Amino acid sequence: MNAKTITRYVGIALLLVSALMTVSGIIACYTPGDNSRIPLFFSALVTGVVGIYPLIFIPGDTHKLNFREGNSIVVASWVFGCLFGMIPYLCYGGEFNFINALFESVSGFTTTGASILTDIEALPRGLQFWRISTAWVGGIGIVTLFSRLLIGRPEQSTLSGSAISNVARQGVSDVRSEFFANRILIIYIILTLVTSGAMKLTGLGWFDSVTTAMSACSTCGFCNRNASIASFGNPAAEIVLTFAMLAAGINFGFIFLTFVKGSRMNVFKSEVFRIFLGLVALCILAVTTDLLIHGGYQSVGTALRDAAFQVASISTTTGFATQDTTFWPPLSMGILLVCSLICGCSGSTSGGIKMDRLILAMKGIVNKLRRFMNPSAVYSIRMDGFQRSDQQVNDAFMFIFSYLAILVVGGLLNLAGGMDFTTGLTASIACIGNVGPGFGDVGSMANFADVPVFLKVSGMLEMLIGRLEIFPILYLLQGFRKNG
C-alpha cells in the first residue's frame, strides 16, 4: 500500500473542503454584520495549505490503485474532512467547544443531522451555509466527488477503471458500474437545483431555499431554523421537500438511466424501488390512520401531510421535522422507528441498513427454506434483473448482523451513561443510521446538547461507521493489525 499516493488523494479531498469554506466566507462578506468571515477564511487557508502540501512535495504516482489503497483513501478522507471541518466552529466559539465542534462537523459530513446547537438561528449566515455545505458534500461523499475529478484527467487514465470503481464503491453503496461515480454527481446537482427552484416558488427566500434543498438532497436534515421545517409554516414547501427526500432515497444510477438515458432498465422496473415506495405508502397510510384515531387530528389532510412528511424524512434518514413525533401515538412512533432502521435504497444518499439488503436477506431466507424442503433442487436468487450469488446474500446477512450489533452496543453505552431507555436506544439508531433525531430527549424538536461528552464521542464513532457502512473501517483496522 502506497502511503504517498493515499496522502495526495486525501490532500485533494481537503482542497474541496477548503473551497467550500471559501464560498461560505464569501457569503459572510455579503451579509452585513456577519462575524464568521474571519473564522471561515482562516479555516480555508489552513485546510488549503495542508491539502496542497502533498500535491507539491509528494511525487505523483499513476499506478493502478488496489483495494486497500482505495479503501484507505475513503476512510482517511472522511476522517480528515471531519477534523478540518470543525475548525470554523472552533474559531467562531459560542456553543462550540472542541467536542461540540467535532460533533457538529462529523454529523454534517456523515449526513446524520444531529446537532448540539440550542439556538441555530443565532449563527451568522456564513457559518450556517458552511454547516449545510458539510452535509451537502457529505451526501455525495468526498471521495465520490474526488473520483469524478479523476475521470476527466487524461494523465490519470490508468485510474479510470478499477481504481475509480474501488473508490466509488466505498463512497456510495452498491455501485455496480464504472460510470456511476460521475453520473451520480450530475443527478445530485440537478436534484439540488430543481429542489431549490421549487422551494423558492413556495415563497421562501433564496438562502432558505438553497440551503434547505442542499440538506434535503443530502438526506441530512440540517436546517437554519430552531424548529426545523415547522418554522416555515409552509405546506407547499413541505410537499416539495417530501418528494425531494424520497427522490434522494432512490438509487441515483436508476434515476440517471430513467430520466437522462431513457433506458429500459429504469427505476420503474426496479423491484427495490417498487417495494421501497410501496412500504413508504403503507407506512404513510398507517400513520395517518393512527393520528386520526389516537393522535387528536381532526383533518384528514393535515394528518396525511404530517404523516407523509415524517415518514419520508425518517425513511430516507433526512431528519427534517414538522411535528414533535415524541408525542405521537405509540404505533406511529413504532412505524417511524422501523423506518429509521431500514431506510432508503443503495446508491442513494440515505443511510441505514438499506432496502436492497433487506430484500436480499429475505429472499435468502426463503431460498434456504426451499432448499430445506427440497435438497435436490437448485434455486437462484434474482433482484432487479440480476442473479445474486450466495456470497452476496451472506454479505447482506453479515452487514445486517454487524449493524444491529453495533446499534445494541451503542444503545447499552447510552443507557450506562444515564439516558432513559427510549432516548438511549433511539439515539444509537439515529447515529448508526445517520438519521439524526430519535425519540425522548433526542427527539425531532430536541438536540444532543446535553448529552455527556463520552456519549457524544461514541455517537460520532457510530455516525462514521454507519456512513462508511461498517466494513471499510474494519478492513482498515484489519490491515493495521496485520502490519503490526
CA dihedral 9, 478, 341, 313 (to 10 degrees): -10
SS3 at position 44? helix
pLDDT, residue 245, reads 96
The DSSP result for 89-136, as a single string, is HHHH-TT--HHHHHHHHHHHHTT------S-GGGS-HHHHHHHHHHHH
Exposure string of 103-122, with b = 16+ CB inside 10 Å and e = fewer, is: bbbbbbbbbbbbbbbeebee
* Cell numbers describing residue 415: 443507557
Cα–chain-centroid distance for residue 41?
Answer: 26
* Cell numbers describing residue 238: 413541505
> CA–CA separation, 480 vs 484, rounded Å?
6
Task: Give every CB contact of residue 421 below 8 A, 6+ residues apart in sequence.
Answer: 415
* Cell numbers describing residue 275: 417495494
* Cell numbers describing residue 228: 426545523
> CA–CA separation, 376 vs 349, rounded Å?
42
Half-sphere exposure of 133 toward its Cβ, with a 13 Å CA cutoff? Answer: 23
SS3 at position 394? helix
| CA distances (Å), origin 186, targets 159, 210, 229 | 20, 17, 27
Q: At 93, which amino acid appears?
A: G
> CA–CA separation, 407 vs 395, rounded Å?
18
Residue 199, phi then psi, degrees to nearest 5: -65, -35
Cβ–Cβ < 8 Å for 222, 131 = yes
* Cell numbers describing residue 327: 408525542
Helix or strand holding residue 169 (H, E): helix 162-171
The DSSP result for 310-339, as a single string, is HHHHHHTT----SS-GGGS-HHHHHHHHHH
Cα–chain-centroid distance for residue 459?
Answer: 15
DSSP summary character for residue 299: -
pLDDT, residue 257, reads 77
Closest Cα partner for 20 from 94, 117, 93, 108?
A: 108
What is the residue-level pLDDT of the chain in tens, covering all 484 positions?
A: 678 888 888 898 899 999 999 999 999 999 998 999 999 999 999 999 999 998 888 876 656 667 777 778 888 889 999 999 999 999 999 999 999 999 999 999 999 999 999 999 999 999 999 999 999 988 877 546 444 444 433 333 333 333 333 333 434 444 344 455 667 778 889 999 999 999 999 999 999 999 999 999 999 999 999 999 999 999 999 999 999 999 999 988 788 778 777 666 677 888 899 999 999 999 999 999 999 999 999 999 999 999 999 999 999 999 999 999 999 999 999 999 999 998 888 878 888 999 999 999 999 999 888 888 887 777 888 887 778 888 888 989 999 999 999 999 999 999 999 999 999 999 999 999 999 999 999 999 889 999 999 999 999 999 999 998 888 887 777 765 566 5
Residue 111, phi then psi, degrees to nearest 5: 55, 35
DSSP summary character for residue 349: S
Angle formed by the axes of helices 98-109 and 453-467, nearest 10° = 20
> CA–CA separation, 375 vs 358, rounded Å?
25
